Chains A and B, each alone.
Chain A
């Protein structure tokens, strides 16, 4: 089922419209295969407010996402959550990824992961269920870069995975 989204979505520029706040929820996760390093580099961009809402609902009402506040403690929660909700399989094998760090950029938080010693991918399967448990209207955009080609997909609660072959 091809999901064409006719509602408001800001595809790549991450700003919540100032005016007449429409409720729209999405994230952008970029996944790039870097041949020279045999590594997969992942940058997942989520609205800080949304991630914070999820952490408070699932774990602890007092969690705060703000630059300089409880950085290390929060990171472990985020990593555990991601490991559960973002699954990357290369050539039919599920990959373990390591956490590089996170940074805040205006309204959003960018989370960096890396997978090392990755063989040349012939197939890739990405399952991204980030925030589906918190917002019904959540849409997760995934952007896969490989061999100078970029492919974009939108994942939603009805369709949480995308399979690609190269």
Chain B
């Protein structure tokens, strides 16, 4: 008992000795400091929880959101490539605030003749230019694609005062809207539809000169309500062209008049299918409703090719009704093939639909609808059952998403060949855009403010969906590919971005318009961060549960970044503030390595050592408690014989201690280590990550230990671990599976491995 007490007392003596030593050596008073510990909670960065959004990351008891319903009549003038529209918008004020005015978004105005969008880009002039570019830049009249607003009135036809500031229109309310009020108003407009292939854009038409026909993929085609919420007030940040959209939910009733020989589809249920479908189409459609394995053609390639030869002068009106959507998109052309397939999601059937011109075949008839169906399955598993009744994929040279409909690139070469990168690119973009139905169409974050909340989360689930697709359809993979090649997801792929020039990197939590490397910042880095959380930090079970909780808390609502960050912790009991701080709020990168390894053996303490220590405690050597001594290999006190003896032989004191305190039976089960390793790991990189160390032993066995990130909480630069082992460690590897996005693996091994450069690796292979 006395001995045990003495042993326990020792650390106390050591600590107090150290403190005294420090105080004596200090000369001037040091300056105070702030808490800069990387594990401090994000109280300062996060918005304070309130009645709208709780501390747990869920909608609060006073959470509200506005609603905007639309009734629209649209007419497409195919000859002039112009759209005419008339809408009645009914806006519901569910907020506790009084509203004096409303903001309406006019996105097409960034394409107006006097748009300021071209003014904010910087570039220089080439002395040698291609004639086509020169004409496009300096000779041709600027395309005038802005909205022509003919009427802004109340439902009686009385004009409403309004002012247009570029892409935002403010409408003065005749009387203040209070909580619970609704207000309806009407807008009549038209605009010239842009050629999205030549002029760019997320909607517009593609012109095919060989057949003198267009495919229209329409969106942002109507003046629409801006979001009003508790976080931003009115989200009336201008549309400069890059940041995407913030939109309230509502119900849409849209009637679209197009040439009678067009095929059309869009957001919502087609309520007059029997009027607009031929009898053949109806038959095929009914068959598709019950077909789950292969797409059923509604409009065949021959029919599409034939329709493209003439131009009907009659019209048809397609009626669509969509409930609880945040936007509306539609595609129409006489050149389109259409196919459909049913897919079971939960206890419902959802229709997967594709529309594409003949030039997209055979790629599109083979894979588009299957990719749609597979995507719905993966995303539903990760979040919630897809609540809408259909999902459409339309072929257009772009990649963009709307509720229930998206536009996706990917066509064979003119000579008919399909390089691998085209096939994988096409399937990848379909998965990504269909995935957007979940983020942000249903989990409706503010894209204008935080691009990453939908792009990052979507890119992350896309990676999982791509893996699933490759497993469901191995015949879609090219020979030699064992899985679907994904360029975003695995931690190692983000290393080039994170290790790059810091002047070109911004934290994820920066507004999209102002960052460089938009793609990596908003898509790749957040997606990779989530993958690291799932695979390495939280594990799949905890991650998937928390991720699903977030999706289900915020489906059909408007979450902010804090709501996501808080929910992931709330549902998992894993402290993640250090992770969000490092990965989302900073541009720190991971670099962890092995700094030093000391190998020690256990021996009896030399008499001089005991004498010295006893004196410093003011104790007689004889009264000193039993101790063992760790001697470092290579030090003065080390001899070769120590290596050849067992620990008990080297340290009789230990042997005695065991014999005094354990029975023979107990001693038989004790394992006395022969080697004591003192391993120092260091962290030259700022980012905190778990320390994953793999120890390889002499007998070939390996042991992997994942030390939680909290290991760095007291010392952000270095930690020390002591390993007691009866087997010799011959090598140590930090992060052997490259899970932490370590930008420099040259310091990850002990003994140090000479890593071959990429160049040398290639040269030795060829």
Contact = CB atoms under 8 A, between A and B. Distances in A.
A103 B762 CA distance: 9
A23 B199 CA distance: 11
B490 to A, nearest CB: 13
Interface residues of B, number: 56
A32 B763 CA distance: 15
A21 B398 CA distance: 5
Given A136-B126, A136-B133, A12 B524 contact: no
Contacts of A112: 759, 762-763
A106 B421 CA distance: 7
A165 interface: no
A7 interface: yes
Given A12-B496, A13-B524, A106-B485, A21 B126 contact: no
B130 interface: yes
B346 to A, nearest CB: 28
A4 B128 CA distance: 20
B517 A11 contact: yes
A76 interface: no
| Range for the number of chain A residues in contact with chain B | 35 or more
A11 to B, nearest CB: 5
A17 B517 CA distance: 10
Nearest to A39: B759
B122 interface: yes
Given A7-B122, A152-B501, A158-B126, A13 B493 contact: yes
Of B129, B202, B421, B520, most buried by chain A (CB within 10 Å of CB) is B421
A41 B759 CA distance: 7
Contacts of A163: none
A15 interface: yes
B400 A19 contact: yes
B397 A3 contact: no
B519 A48 contact: no
Nearest to A49: B421
B763 A15 contact: no
Contacts of A41: 757, 759-760
B432 interface: yes
Interface in A124-141: 136
A18 B432 contact: yes
Nearest to B122: A6
Interface string B501-513: 1001000000000
B516 interface: yes
Interface in A144-164: 152, 156-158
A165 to B, nearest CB: 20
A114 B497 CA distance: 26
Contacts of B432: 18-19
Contacts of B125: 158
A9 B455 contact: no
The interface centre, meaning the residue of B485, B759, B760, B766 with most chain A CB atoms within 10 A of its CB, is B759
Contact of B121 (A6, A20, A100, A107): A6
B399 interface: yes
B519 A8 contact: yes
Contacts of A22: 200
Interface string B391-431: 00000011111000000010000010101110001001100
Contact of A19 (B130, B399, B496, B524): B399
A67 B122 contact: no
Interface in B715-766: 757-760, 762-763, 766
A101 interface: yes
A48 B422 CA distance: 11
A12 B497 contact: yes
Interface string A89-100: 000000000001
Given A20-B399, A32-B759, A136-B133, A10 B421 contact: no
Nearest to B514: A6
A43 interface: yes
A5 B516 CA distance: 9
A64 interface: yes
A9 B499 CA distance: 16
A6 B71 CA distance: 40
Interface string A62-86: 1011110000000000000000000
Nearest to B415: A62
Contact of A3 (B124, B497, B517): B124
A62 B413 CA distance: 11
B433 interface: yes
14 contacts: A1-B124, A5-B122, A6-B121, A6-B122, A7-B122, A12-B497, A13-B496, A67-B420, A106-B485, A114-B759, A136-B126, A157-B127, A157-B128, A158-B124
Interface of A: 1, 3-15, 17-23, 32, 34, 41, 43, 48-49, 62, 64-67, 100-101, 103, 106-107, 110, 112, 114, 136, 152, 156-158
Given A12-B499, A43-B759, 20 more contacts: A4-B122, A6-B121, A7-B122, A8-B242, A11-B497, A12-B496, A13-B494, A13-B519, A18-B399, A18-B429, A19-B433, A21-B398, A41-B757, A100-B762, A101-B766, A107-B421, A112-B762, A156-B124, A158-B124, A158-B126
Q: Which 7 A-B pairs have the closest CB atoms?
A: A12-B496, A41-B759, A13-B497, A101-B766, A17-B519, A19-B399, A6-B122
